[in-house]
Each structure stands twice: as C-alpha cells, then as structure tokens.
Structure 1
Amino acid sequence: MFGRRVPPNVVFLLSLLLAVVCAFIAYRAFNVNKISAAIIAGVFAVWFGVDAFRSYSWTKRKP
C-alpha cells in the first residue's frame, strides 16, 4: 500500500492472535446465549485462521 510489504511472519502471528481472540469471544458469547454474536465472532475466527494458514505457507516458500 505504501511501497513496503508486511513480512509474512508478522501477518501469520497477528492473524493467529486475532483468530484465537475471536474464537474466545465466540465461546464466551455462546455461553451467555448470544448466538448472533457467537456466529459473527466464529466467522471472524475462521477467517483469521485461514489467513494465518495462508501466510504460514508464504513463509515456507523460498523466493
């Protein structure tokens, strides 16, 4: 965006952290019967988990 790319290992760590946080929020929301909030947080957890998996594969690829 500004001429520099974020390193894939930073993207992996941040995506993994966000996936864990969103999964925790989804779990807590499900326990207090806020199903819509649990679904939304669960979708974000999956989204960030897939992003972490993709960025992990970028770190394995050698240029």
Structure 2
Amino acid sequence: MEQVWTKAIQTQKEKALDTRPLAFKIYNTTSLLVVLNKNLIYKFILSVYNKRKSEIKNLSKNP
C-alpha cells in the first residue's frame, strides 16, 4: 500500500509540473483513483473471505 501512496505523491508532483491539457490531467487522476480503489476493494474482499473462513473453521470444530 505504501508504494501506491508513494506513486500517488510522485504523480502529484509530476502533475504540478505538467502543462498538458486539462482532459489529460483528468484522465491521469481518474486512472490513479481506479488503482487505489482496486487495491482497497481487493483488501476488503480478502478480509471478508478470511473472516468467513475462520467462522467455518469454528463451526466445524464445535458442531
């Protein structure tokens, strides 16, 4: 996750120096948000999956 934020900060610095059209900047920001969201969604699904897995284990131990 730390790499993602480092990349985000680096991208922001590059954007500050960027003189390209606004549409291009919007596209860059959107793609960055998609990357962050994918990472968060993945972590969320993983946490739910692990929680369910432990619940199932507990059920099989204590019928």
Tell which structure's C-alpha radius of gyration is larger: 2
* Higher helix residue share: 2
